[in-house]
Chains A and B, each alone.
Chain A
């Protein structure tokens, strides 16, 4: 925004606010990281406003409302402090296993180095480990196997020097396959432990 325009806007806002003692609000939609369409719906006394374009904004002051496009550079500058404090997005790693084994495959073991680095660069990292199996064997055996897989990966992370207090674990047996298969079918993608770092 041009400095003079900005000043005029400020003066107008202040004058309006002083008159009404009311609140000024602004909502700006940011582009989604995956580029997919996204939207915000704003409901208030004036009705409903939809913002569905990146950098579209809605400005509202005492009985006055408008929706318009905002300038990317202005948005980034105006909200620089808040945007800089947005924590890093969560990231997850998938470890795979041979049938009935609780030792990760060699490629998966190599991933642990990346997991350790990811945890090291994050401020106050938290980790969730969830174990799964494919649909070979009984439900009860698979519950136990998924638990063993989680315990095995948990021990490996502790051996990497990761603090136990920031790790949560869970196991799901064959209940949540990534690939839907008939019961009894072997599937390398479903034999997995997911490590989520946030």
Chain B
């Protein structure tokens, strides 16, 4: 292995690192929003990298956001493809992945239910490409076929 090659590899790694930093530091805008909170009752918090945000009707949600409800809390979200999600009390829901092409209606959704209850009415993505819609619980992965359903997860130990 020659020195020039090593330098080249280092340069490539550096460049990739810089791009990675940019990717992480790009600020969130309305265009990147994956949906909006429509209903928020009782204790509800929206956890995002870089701090918690208020979770009121009209608050936009982004991929990787986590919604947490307290003992008296419930929250309802409409995603951009018209998927409806709502969580009951003592819930922790993670919006792990959302991609949607509003022209073709193709896309992908992955939502995690760490604990509590989540009710779902699937939207355009589930109609167009049901195989790329999943709901993930601690033990299982749920796939859907044009569906409304409820998921309940009762853990014994606290999860973050």
Contacts and interface: CB of A to CB of B under 8 A. Distances in A.
Interface residues of B, number: 48
B36 A85 contact: no
Given A38-B148, A85-B39, A126-B36, A60 B84 contact: no
Nearest to A62: B139
Contacts of B88: 79-82, 85
Given A23-B153, A25-B151, A75-B150, A85 B142 contact: no
B38 A124 contact: yes
Instruction: Determine chain B's interface SS by DSSP, over half rule.
Output: strand
A109 interface: no
A100 interface: no
Instruction: Determine chain A's interface SS by DSSP, over half rule.
Output: mixed
Given A126-B36, A198-B78, A28 B149 contact: yes
Contacts of A82: 74, 86-88, 91, 117-119, 150
A88 B70 CA distance: 23
A44 B141 contact: yes
Interface string A85-96: 111111000000
Nearest to B115: A23
B119 A124 contact: no
Interface of B: 36-39, 41, 57-58, 74-78, 82, 84-89, 91, 102-103, 117-119, 121, 123, 137-157
